[in-house]
Amino acid sequence: MRLLLITPHLIAGGAERDTIALAGGLANRGHRVTLVSHGGALSPEANDSGVEVVELRTHSRTPPGIARLSRELAALVAERGCDLVHTQAILPAVAARRGLGRGMPLLVTIHNLHRRWSYPLAAGLLRWAADRVLFVSDYERRNFQRGGFPDSRALTVQTGLPDAFFDVEPEPTKDRFTFLLPARIDGRKGHDDLLRAVSISGEAPFDVRIAGDGPARRALERMTGRLGVTGRVEFIGFQRDMPALLKRVNALVLPSLRESLPLSLREGFAAGLPAVATAVGGIPELVEHGRTGFLVPPRDPERLARAMEQLAVRPGLAAGMGETARRTAERRWRMGGYLDRLETVYRELLEGR
């Protein structure tokens, strides 16, 4: 198939890494893939994925910007002879439908819609633009159903992971139990609650590594000093080699305020790591409390600290949870199974034309 994949940008986020992995996986199966985005920190990974990468202003939100993108996508599809368009966000789907008309099969994957008030509007746009919509979590699918999107055109398909994550054999430091929070520092991931939890835990035998960058990093570094936990919290910035990073820690922590189906937890599970995470959004679809990790309420640093302590002082418990997590990942998130499901959807859309 000749496929056009569109994502608004290539910032260092889970949805963007999902899209790059998908593009490369499809190309490895013999499909001709063109990946369109506005570019970003992950552009080198996209260029190394074995697909054609085209930069357009796919992040446009204004009517003139969407109209311009519509024309550019129509020209690109005509030049490449694409069979199907698969977008990773709503406004690029609107632009694609506007430019391509009803003759082109159009699939949309919804990773996460951050503004709850916008579900009815988003559902209305998708009813007009999309032939089918894939949701990475049942949580997001239910929200769109309540917003008015017809369930007959909806499907929950959890994205797959590259094989490199399943090949990780953890070799963490033996001196201190180490948690990793791999997430963009933008205020939605609960970094401040994590710092308070470390402070509350006092002399508990664990440290924290924070991987990622974002607008709130400097404020968090200052907060680390005020709380007196500088020696136990390390900010390591944006990391390209996630499998290598996962190899050097004991567990993940994700105290998010809102999530859909976080890629970081799935990658950690594939690497055999348990997780302490907040019971928000689609996270309970991933973390089985007491078996693959612990779930805690959001905005509760006390409960977060106690859950982290339980893993840190009982390494045998953490190791057992990690093995259960790895088996879960093997069963649910192998890339081959994901691509099989996606190709089935593609064929159904093409046959329906």
Model confidence pLDDT, tens digit, residues 258-314: 999 999 999 999 999 999 999 999 999 999 999 999 999 999 999 999 999 999 999
Residues 6 and 140 both lie in one domain: yes
Cα separation, 117 vs 121, in Å, equals: 8
Q: Are residues 148 and 212 in the same domain?
A: no
Q: For residues 59 and 90, state if they share a domain.
A: yes
Q: What are the structure tokens assigned to 160, written together?
A: 């797959």
Q: What is the pTM of this model?
A: 0.93
* Residue among 11, 325, 348 at smallest CA distance from 157: 348
Domain of residue 282 covers 163-332
Domain harbouring 167, CATH code: 3.40.50.2000
Residues 186 and 101 in one domain: no
Domains contained in the chain, number: 2
Q: Which helix (H) or strand (E) is 156 found in, with range?
A: strand 154-156
Same domain, 210 and 155: no
125, containing H or E segment: helix 119-129
Q: What is the pLDDT of residues 98-150, one digit of tens each?
A: 999 999 999 999 998 867 768 999 999 999 999 999 999 999 999 999 999 99
Q: Calculate what percentage of the chain has a pLDDT beyond 70.
A: 99
Query: Do 61 and 199 have their domain in common?
Result: no
* Cα torsion 87, 332, 271, 339: sign: negative
Does one domain contain both 130 and 239? no
Q: Give SS3 for 180.
A: strand
103 & 227 share domain: no
| Token pair belonging to 130 | 């999309």
H or E segment and range at residue 233: strand 233-237
Helices within 242-282 (DSSP H only): 242-246, 263-270
- Are 193 and 318 part of one and the same domain? yes
Residue 102 and residue 213 share a domain: no
Q: How large is the C-alpha radius of gyration of the chain?
A: 21
- Pair (78, 178) in one structural domain: no
Are 58 and 192 found together in one domain?
A: no
